[in-house]
Structure 1
């Protein structure tokens, strides 16, 4: 079952709402039926210099990404999608049941994060067996890491060929519930972790909930 509180948070609901909760129960069932999660990842060497992360012959210019990967010599590149069924479900609801659309969107977003978290746990276990620590996910669109960098992920992971996700001219992904991310591998642990947001002083950190 999806985290119901997280679904309601995506909907901007901060108090008990019986109607939204009933809709969320129904939407969750529909999303889980329609979704077909698939992913692809690759481990690769990197070199961080100033505000640039070098991955092979590609230079990713982002001060925030470089700071996040400081101390890392390798990363995992990751792409994940819930598949086209979610898009079809939302299109049908736009005609048949418009009020359900934002609830479906919220449930699909939470399920996307759940799937990504499960993959991250698996990669973290792999890293641990090598004596390494895994940094949290960092995606295009976070901080100054431009969405234009989506093209790098698509080329590096052959995303369209391998999991059927397409990139638009405005760097949005189709199916819509798809993500790309980089996860740093470090020889030392890091204090930046999604579970410690409430005690963290970095108010602009993209991992803050």
Structure 2
């Protein structure tokens, strides 16, 4: 009870996180010293993992996109030139990461005039989540999730964007966050009304 609800509970949590980081560094050093394959595949498809180091196999969702690359030895035998026939295939998988990238979307609104009545015609500009702002909805969502869910400060996001060739000042990121929060406020107000309308609420003891 004291560890969970006492005055020093937050201090204990911080110390635990620091110990986890140190342990992680030690485990990385061990993995670097033993760069053995993750598992050994037998003919029956069973994987045997070394007892010294057990590695967890990544669990990939069925919704994850897949790309199939086929390596074909050809139609004729390289040794005698006779036709080859397919008897089977060996399939291996690697999990690849497609890095996110920034792009500039240009919207050109053509102006046209009527030669008969001299009327000027032009489509209306599409709406933006932030008025007169350059950030698109996908970029704003990424910034908010990175800050409030992944706990990545805005100055670090600035460094990440700079590596991708786009310099976004921290002051601009702050403005975008504030404006995006304002845009989402009606939704959060509706969620709050739904939550506080319940007969019972469960919350932590944070002041």
User: Which range, TM-score by smaller chain?
Assistant: under 0.3
Larger strand proportion, structure 1 or 2? 1
- TM-score normalised by L of structure 1: 0.24
**Quick check: which one's helix share is greater?**
1
Query: Given the two structures, how large is their TM-score scaled by the length of structure 2?
Result: 0.24
Higher relative contact order (CA 8 A, sep 6+): 1
